[in-house]
Amino acid sequence: MEKLKQELEQLIKTLPNEEALRAKLESLVSVYPFNDYEYMISALLGADKLTFEDYLELRDSYISRNRFLYIFEISAPTGFGKTWAEGHLSELVPDMQKPSKKLDKKYSGEYDFLLDDIRIEVKASRAVDSDDSGPLYEKALTSDSPKNFLMNFQQMKPGCCDVFIWVGVWRDKIRYWVLSSKEVSTHRHYQDKHHRGNTGEGQLHVKRDNMKEFAKYESRSNELLKAIRDAYKRQHF
């Protein structure tokens, strides 16, 4: 959104009636889908400062930078963490199965997937401007943004699974980290005092200043199956 606004601002500066347009924008009442961006683009098209081909290029560029913005509009935590993230990973790694008593007699809901005998827990978080108090879709960041973010992978129970898959979502990119539960529980950023009385449960924050520490666990979407099995080997061998 910031990049789009910058591009439109540069074009507005070339208008002979720039002040009148800005005055109109200040008093504009926005009701979806008629908002300030729609008004700016229409004014620029009408003034021949933006051709239809320019508009299409602007539109394609915006969509490319915001292809995963819709994920930030999922408001319910379970809708994002359970419904979207688990569904997304099921498509990427169809060999993973939803656990049940039939597959694991000891299963009682403590992990999310089974791959052979590998118990897998999924945690997901979204990159948002940690200095902004607005709604998620407004403070969502692109992967190249210099702004601070904080991804909180919480309610993790390393004793209940073999492998963790972390899913990190930006406006334009999705990252995947695959760690053994031992690598999580022994990591220097892991905090095992998440909730009072919740023994064996903790959290870990991934931020701009520590994300490089997790680079060795990052996996491409088409390599997740191998990454899971490699993490399991690190856990047990």
Report the 3 state secondary structure along the chain: CHHHHHHHHHHHCCCCCHHHHHHHHHHCCCECCECHHHHHHHHHHHCCCCCHHHHHHHHHHHHHHCCCHHHHHCCCHHHHHHHHHHHHHHHHCCCCECCCCCCCCCCCCCCCEEECCEEEEEEEEECEECCCCCCHHHHECCCCCCCCEEEEEEEECHHHCCEEEEEEECCCCEEEEEEEHHHHHCCCCCECCCCCCCCCCEEEEEECCCHHHHHHHEECHHHHHHHHHHHHHHHHC
Report pLDDT digits (tens) over 29-57.
777 677 888 888 999 999 999 999 999 99
* 174, 67, 130, 178 alpha-carbon torsion, rounded to 10°: -10
2 pLDDT band, cuts 50/70/90, is confident
Please state which of the four CATH numbers 2.60.120, 3.40.1350, 1.10.287, 1.10.3470 is assigned to the domain occupying 69-236.
3.40.1350
pTM of the model: 0.82
Report pLDDT digits (tens) over 176-227.
999 999 999 999 999 986 555 566 799 999 999 999 999 999 999 999 999 9
Q: Kindly report, as residue ranges, where domains of CATH 3.40.1350 are found in the chain.
A: 69-236
Report pLDDT digits (tens) over 76-133.
878 898 899 999 999 999 999 999 999 999 899 999 999 999 999 999 999 999 888 8
Residues 6+ apart with CB under 8 A from 36: 25, 28, 30
> Cα separations (Å) of 119 from 77, 164, 212, 224?
22, 9, 26, 14
